Every structure is written in C-alpha cells, then in structure tokens.
Amino acid sequence: MTPSFTRRVPDGDDRPRRVCDHCAFVDYENPKVVVGSVVRVGDGVLLCRRAIEPRRGFWTLPAGFMELGETVEEGAKREAWEEARARLRLTALLAVYSIPRIGQVQIMHLAELETPGFEPGPESLEVRAFGWDEIPWEELAFPSVHWALTQAREVWGRPAFIPFANPAGERGDRHP
C-alpha cells in the first residue's frame, strides 16, 4: 500500500499535521537545529564568506545543521571544520535563537582556535579573521549573525553570563 497523507488535526491535538490516511500515523514536522560558533581570533572574529545559497557571497559564522548522532558541541566543531578547516575549543554557550519563519533553532557558542590556522572549506569562498572595527556589517548573511557578534562582544572575557536569546522583538524575519 502506498503511503498517503492528509493535513488535518489528529485526535487529541490542536493543530493540523500530516496524518497517514491508512494508519493515522502522524508525520510530525519539527524545527531544524543549527549549531555554530563565534570564534575569537586575536582581537577579532572568524567569518566565512558563503559559497552556497542562501545568501551566497555574504559573510557568516561557521555554523550549520546538526547531524543525527552528534551532540550540539560536536556539531559546532564539525561545522567549523567543514566551513573554515578550523579546530575549535568551545568556551561557553552564547545564545539560543528561535527563527520560526524558517523552522530553525540556532545554538551558538563562544570558541577559540584549538590549533592555529584556518582556510576555506567546501562551503566557503573565503575565510578571514576580522577585527571588531573591520566586520562587514552590511554584508552579513543573516540577522542571527549580527546578533551573535554583538552579544559575543558584550560578554567576551566574562567568567560567567546568562546565554542570550533573540533580541527583543526580533524573529529573524529579515536580512540585516
């Protein structure tokens, strides 16, 4: 029997979902988890110029979707390797952002290079350490990159802080 799904409110639920017409299996659609890091390099931060869509050619943090079977920390380190060939030491949880428009939860860390050096990985056109006054703010790929950079600068060097969330009133619905 070929699966067939209809969007309807299943028994005991309060919102429409994809429900199998034959067995009533509910195919839940849940947010995707993105993991990444604001990586301190000297007095600045590591940014990657995207080689892929969306926002190809714009600058971002080393970040991407978690894979099944990995921890948040493992995912953040893997993404830094894939995008910037950088080995990281994660130092703190910086923020958890909610981007409901695209069904994402973004978990960002503060990090330092564990070993010297970085270079573009397959998803980056260019990788560079920017001093805080050199960051190309008008060329950042996503609102959450701006948030993370701003919030990281506020807390870098503090021994402890409460992780951030979206800035008040921000849902990540527009590009910077």
Tens of pLDDT, residues 15-25: 999 999 999 99
Q: 0.85 cut: is pTM over it?
A: yes
Domain co-membership, 24 together with 39: no
Q: What CATH number corresponds to the domain at position 40?
A: 3.90.79.10
State how beta strands 17-20 and 44-50 pair.
unpaired
pLDDT tens for each residue of 147-176: 999 999 999 989 899 999 999 988 877 655
Domain co-membership, 88 together with 140: yes
Query: What is the number of domains present in the chain?
Result: 2
Domain co-membership, 17 together with 101: no
Q: Is the pLDDT of residue 1 over 90?
A: no
pLDDT of amino acid 3? 81
Q: Which residues fall within 8 angstroms of residue 90, CB to CB, at 6 or more apart? A: 37, 73, 76, 77, 109, 110, 111
Domain co-membership, 24 together with 38: no
Can you give the residue range of the structural domain that contains 101?
32-155
Domain co-membership, 81 together with 5: no
Q: How far apart are CA 127 and CA 163, in angstroms?
A: 26
Residue 176 lies in a domain: no
Domain co-membership, 83 together with 11: no
Domain co-membership, 18 together with 80: no
Q: What CATH number corresponds to the domain at position 14?
A: 2.20.70
Domain co-membership, 136 together with 150: yes
pLDDT tens for each residue of 105-145: 999 999 999 999 999 999 999 999 999 999 999 999 999 99
